[in-house]
Amino acid sequence: MQIARFLAIIAFSTIASISSQAQWIEYEGSALFSGGFYRVDVAEGYAYVGAMNSIQILSLEDPLAPRFLSGYPFLTDLHNFCVSGDFAYATDGLPWFPDYFRVIDMSDRSAPELAASIYLPGVPYELVVEGNYAYVAADYGIQVVDISDPYNPSYVNDYETPGAAVGVFARGNYLFVADNYSGLQILDISDPANPSFVGSFQTATDAWGVFADDSLAYIAEGTYDIFTGALEIVDISDPSSPEFVGIYTATGYFGNIQVFGNYAYFTVGSEFVWDYRIVDVSEPSNPTLAGSYDYNYYDLSLTPHYVYGATGSEVHVFETANVSDPVPVGFYEGSGYINRVVAAEDYAYVASGRGLWVVDYSDAASPAVIGSYLEGYALDICISSNYAFLTISSSGLHIVDISQPSDPVFVGSYPAERFTSVSVQGDYAYLTETWEGLFILDVSDPSEPVLAAIYDADGYEKDVFVHDVYAYLAVVSEGQLQVVNVEDPSNPFLEGYSQAPDYPLSVYVADGYAYMADRWQGVKIFNVEDPANPTFAGTYNSPGIAYDAKVFGHCVIVADDSDGIQMVDITDPENPDLVASFDTPGKARDVWMVDDQVLVADGSSLMILRYYPETAIENNNANLPNGFSLAQNYPNPFNTTITIQYDLPEDCHVVVDIYDILGRHVKTLVDAAQPAGSHHMIWDAADRSSGIYFYRILAGEFTDTKKMTLLK
């Protein structure tokens, strides 16, 4: 049984975990959950929309105009979810790491909270709730989770199917499993914790989804490589001997399916696109196409009057009454891709795929959108005085009055095809325009920006940063840092340059040094004390793709794409040293720091983190441990608190987890990049009952587990 092997794995430590509990940087809150919508579930006046790293709750008070109410963020990739009553049940995880089963309390739709989480073996695909149990379709079969107490779910059993379970549907005492290449499997769940085989049906192609009523099962099928699909209808009046009834075939592979009345609604995918189709199944032996709508739809959810389709970037609303010519009659659009962020006072100003958002983050755990200016795809933003300067793709520079943050007001603009970045100093705005050069605009009258000069950098300019009388340019095509003298903004000229960067994406200057995010090459650092002769000083090789780097105090913070953020000590700029990191769930594109709070434009959301510099550990090479080790806790047995100690001979990512005797995850004590040295932490078990527990470390490729006994 998979469950037995899983508990053994937990006890003897071969599983890694992901958590928000970092030692030096901790997660506080999120806002502006963006698109990537691929899952939608409608229930009791709300639409629950699954994106890459969040579940968003939309009010359907007006069914044709869904309104964002709140969101629940995941620090890993959301796989799938379903809603039952006041709870959402979800699976999430990352490649090569174990997956979570999470229970989210949604009794207050405006403030969902995590109720519980446990680990799952295998790779989860779809899940369904029936009574007090959740059934998860995984790569090897069905996982059974007891949710009779949603705050204390337990993984109780599994059932191995002959294929790869990717879809699941529950009805009464039966579970219908889309088992991919093994077709349809029907299980008896009259004993909910112990599914048993009843019957099967070999489908024409791979089974991906299933829906069932009292007498018929509707199976969505398809084959990825040749893009042939089918809706197959099977008589299940005798579940032990299902029989073929009818089939509808088409190019593409069929995905999510739901049936309402005489119609089956489903998505059909091909090599590049998914669409939405409606098939008349009033005569099951002869299903026929009733209507379709060509657009990318990944999932559908039905109410008696409306169909809600997740498109990736939007949620579209269709009327169920219109089956022959379905067209959207309403929609919901997310916040757009989160590209850039700056902060002033308690407000974050965010450039996104839809424009400008203003977020009040004074309560970091519950940041709130208070204002917006949505006039196009915003690539960059700069705040100066009471104005936000936005570069809008295919539109140019937009200047917005933000003296009232809750009510941003357009003031003026300057047209351009693609201003990629903007920096403002005094009465002038400096903008890079791809291959066209550095544009210098007189914005002394924000309502009437006037061109003062254009500097030709002889390449593709990606970013600009203005400091003192110099504009520093990241020139991608030439791999250069160019220093442009703008003492007279109407007469800019090249002061100096350096050829070191490979693919510079951003530049930031502080204390005589320029810091350039250099894509796959990390951060390149240049001494620019002599602007006419910038010289290479040092480099920090980040693990991901360095998109942005900004200096705050003695640190440069790197927005490192899929690897989150890296906080690097630049006390000695020639020898930068990693002091902390946080692996955000999305793709970190930009950062801003105010006091000890770090704001991250993470693509799929705006994240708010808190930095604790006092927890840093000195890296003294003379006293480094010789090898990895995990010490036995002391005291043991213990009452309430224990100390756990471990040694790291090198810098690496460390995860320390606590499990109970049944293998259930109790707590993550640390999940962060740490420097070499001796480390220790205290676990307070005041809220735990007496018994045997395990603590497990994963550090680089090293792993070890120790047993401890709690006695109260």
The count of structural domains within the chain is 2
The answer to whether residue 632 is domain-embedded is yes
Which of 549, 583, 614 is where one domain is finished? 614
Q: What is the pLDDT of residue 76?
A: 80
The answer to whether residue 528 is domain-embedded is yes
CATH of the domain at 379: 2.130.10.10
Which of 563, 579, 614 is where one domain is finished? 614
Residues 605 and 668 in one domain: no
665: domain range? 625-710
Q: How many CB atoms lie within 10 A of CB 262?
A: 13
With 0-12 / 13-18 / 19 or more C-beta atoms within 10 angstroms meaning exposed / middle / buried, residue 613 is middle
Identity of the amino acid at 336:
G
Q: Is the separation of the CB atoms in 693 and 710 below 8 Å?
A: yes
The answer to whether residue 644 is domain-embedded is yes
For 52, the enclosing helix (H) or strand (E) is none
Residues 476 and 495 in one domain: yes
The answer to whether residue 29 is domain-embedded is no
Residues 596 and 466 in one domain: yes
Residues 556 and 637 in one domain: no
- Three-class SS state of 436: helix
The one-character DSSP state at 6 is H
Residues 557 and 475 in one domain: yes
Residues 459 and 564 in one domain: yes
The answer to whether residue 75 is domain-embedded is no
The answer to whether residue 443 is domain-embedded is yes
Residues 409 and 508 in one domain: yes
Q: What is the pLDDT of residue 537?
A: 96
Residues in the chain: 712
| C-alpha dist (Å) from residue 276 to 118, 146, 309, 563 | 35, 35, 8, 35
Sheet with 174-178: list strands edge to edge: 167-171, 174-178, 184-188, 196-201
Return d(Cα 60, Cα 29) in angstroms, integer. 25
End-to-end CA distance of the chain, in Å?
34
- What residues contact residue 523 under an 8 Å CB cut-off, 6+ apart? 515, 516, 517, 539, 540, 542, 546, 549, 556, 558, 568, 576
pLDDT in tens, 616-659: 444 444 457 888 989 887 677 777 778 788 888 888 888 898 98
For 125, the token pair is: 């695909």
For 710, the token pair is: 């709690």
With 0-12 / 13-18 / 19 or more C-beta atoms within 10 angstroms meaning exposed / middle / buried, residue 5 is exposed
CATH of the domain at 694: 2.60.40.2550
Could you give phi then psi for residue 404, rounded to 5 degrees? -110, 95
For 227, the enclosing helix (H) or strand (E) is none
Residues 656 and 552 in one domain: no
The answer to whether residue 26 is domain-embedded is no
Residues 492 and 412 in one domain: yes
Residues 606 and 507 in one domain: yes
Residues 577 and 630 in one domain: no
The answer to whether residue 646 is domain-embedded is yes
pTM (2 d.p.): 0.78
Q: What stretches in the chain show pLDDT beneath 70?
A: 1-23, 35, 95-98, 224-227, 271-273, 614-623, 634
Which of 557, 592, 614 is where one domain is finished? 614
- Per the listing, tokens 């959108």 go with 369
pLDDT in tens, 70-108: 999 887 889 999 999 999 999 988 766 668 899 999 999
Residues 558 and 692 in one domain: no
